[in-house]
Amino acid sequence: MRYFFTTLWIALIPCAWAQYFEPPPINPDPSSEVSVRPVPAPQPAGGKSEQPAPNDPAAVTELPDNSSPVPREKTRVAVLGYHNFSDTKPVSEMLMRTSEFRQQMEYIHKAGLRVISMKEFLDWRLGNLQLPPRCVLITLDDGWRSVYTDAFPILKEYGYPFTLFLYTKYLSGRGDSMTPEMVREMQAHGATIGSHSTSHLYPRFWKRAQAAGDKAYNDLMDVEMGGSFKRLGELFGPINTYCYPGGYVTPQMIERLPGYGFVAAFTVIPGKVDCTEDVFQVHRYMVFGTDSSIFHHAVDFRQLSSAAGGDRKNAGAPSPVPPFPVYPLPNSVAPSDISLISAQLSGMTNVEPNSIQMQVSGFGRVPAKVDSSTLSVQWSPPLRIYLPRLTVRLSWKTTDGSSHSAEWFFYVESEPQIQSS
């Protein structure tokens, strides 16, 4: 195995290890088995955001005009993902204070970010629509009743379009779920409907069907993806987008989605979206109720603006793109205090989890954490990065003994962005 190594050209300044906390299951049934979990957006070293609270006017950073359309390649979209809301129930990763959600929507307004509909997003990504340089797409998963009672009034007040990713078995109106009538009312005020499957199955059910053979796996995809497409269409009219429950995605799913009528699908891997994004693995920031820094990173477009005429312009060939979701995105610009480098290999077949290794330029082989059940690979740099570019290489073996590898690179902003308090 070839190791690549780059000498650090400046003294390394130690900083605290960033902490990674796994969120609870996405599935609304808290008694069920733990699902594949979204990867948190990176936080500054030490785990604290350097940005002010989103309701603080000082938090809004002045950026170039965002009112006029620009060429498609100059637009970036931050896709936000939410779940449940309350001002009285205990906060969790999946449950956010309603008051904090309002503050975040106010921040988007004050920052002059353009909130786009799903139709605008698809017309931009799949067609020729031009948008402003900095856009936000709001999505809400599952079908929690609080989306209707808490989030919807706020979204309607600001006039923001939004997308509901619903799984059909949670549309009963019982307990904490919404009714179809609630969904239709929201449709009349800017909501687009997308599929979140039929049953929101955990990975073990998919893996069991896959182990049973192609017919069993195809039959399950027909029920969970094709069935939800048909049922949601009957209830609310035609739909064309899908959201992977728990972020679990395989090549077979991607291959079959277009046959059901889907034109795009969304993950739980954070990152800004550009016009070259894989439409069936669209990046999305899952905004947790316990970690406001995820929202901060999602709506922070400063790095993209500062990089527009910088080193990237003359960087030569673009980064290779691995056949699976990674963070930071290839060719993107990350802060120098980035706290997480990650990849999701769940879509790769027959991977031996114990064989997975990560190498990072300037660090050599790193002690990445590998989740054997989800094939999530994560590493937190122990110090601020002073190299202008980092290359990440993943290598692994499959059950037949063959070796595989993939790599990508991203850029590091030259100096940390520090905001005065």
**Average pLDDT of the chain to the nearest whole number:** 81
- Asked whether this chain's domains 55-300 and 307-421 adopt the same fold, the reply is no
Question: Model confidence over 361-399: pLDDT tens digits?
Answer: 877 788 999 998 889 999 998 887 877 788 899 999 999
What is the rounded CA–CA span in Å between residue 69 and residue 221?
A: 39
* Residue 202 reports pLDDT greater than 70: yes
Question: Model confidence over 116-172: pLDDT tens digits?
Answer: 999 999 999 998 899 999 999 999 999 999 999 999 999 999 999 999 999 999 998
At residue 377, the pLDDT reads: 94
* Residue 317 reports pLDDT greater than 70: no
CB 240 within 8 A of CB 230: no
What is the rounded CA–CA span in Å between residue 196 and residue 162?
A: 15
CB 231 within 8 A of CB 196: no
Helix (H, G, I), strand (E, B) or coil at 192: strand
| 307-421: CATH, from 2.60.40.1220, 2.60.40.10, 3.30.70.370, 3.30.420.10 | 2.60.40.1220
CATH superfamily of 55-300: Glycoside hydrolase/deacetylase (3.20.20.370)
Helix (H) or strand (E) holding 264, with range, is strand 264-266
Percent of the chain with pLDDT over 70: 79
* Residue 36 reports pLDDT greater than 60: no
Q: Is the pTM of this model over 0.85?
A: no
CB 98 within 8 A of CB 86: yes
- In a 10 Å sphere around its CB, with 0-12 CB exposed, 13-18 middle and 19+ buried, how is residue 397 labelled? middle
User: By mean pLDDT, which of 116-120, 318-322, 344-348, 400-404 is the weakest?
Assistant: 318-322
CB 227 within 8 A of CB 221: no
Q: Where are the domains of the chain?
A: 55-300, 307-421
Sequence-distant (6+) residues with CB within 8 A of 230 are none
At residue 63, the pLDDT reads: 65
